[in-house]
Amino acid sequence: MVLKMDGRILKYKIKSISESKYGYLYWKKDERKKAYKFFPTGKFRVKMEGKIVKERKMNKGRARLNLYPLREKFNKGDNLILEKKEKDLIIIQKD
């Protein structure tokens, strides 16, 4: 669920246990345009708490982002702050 988007920063709330169990971030229909606008087209890297995951790509068909290798770092109810640092790097922090 998108809480807020401000150019280079996107706030996201983990709303279900399955998001943390399987590592997917999902967007509802009314939030998808914001999410698509935020993420780079093509592949990019994601960094969270010192761990970098390469070759991530926004799945526009299912409106989700697979962060399976980082799933142990977030739980239901967590607020995440996603920040664009470079053209192909997204930094994630807990709020």
* CATH number for the domain that contains residue 28: 2.40.330.10
How many separate domains does the chain show? 1
What is the per-residue pLDDT for 8?
Answer: 86
This prediction's pTM:
0.86
Tens-digit pLDDT profile for residues 13-52: 999 999 999 999 999 999 898 888 889 889 999 999 999 9
Task: State the residue range of the domain holding 85.
Answer: 2-94
* Better pLDDT: 5 or 24: 24
C-alpha distance across the termini of the chain, in Å: 14
Tens-digit pLDDT profile for residues 15-25: 999 999 999 99
Q: For residues 62 and 30, what is the distance between their CA atoms, to the nearest angstrom?
A: 14
The DSSP result for 4-67, as a single string, is: EEETTEEEEE--SHHHHHH-EEE--GGGHHHHHHHSPSS-EEEEETTEEEEEE--BTTTTEEE-
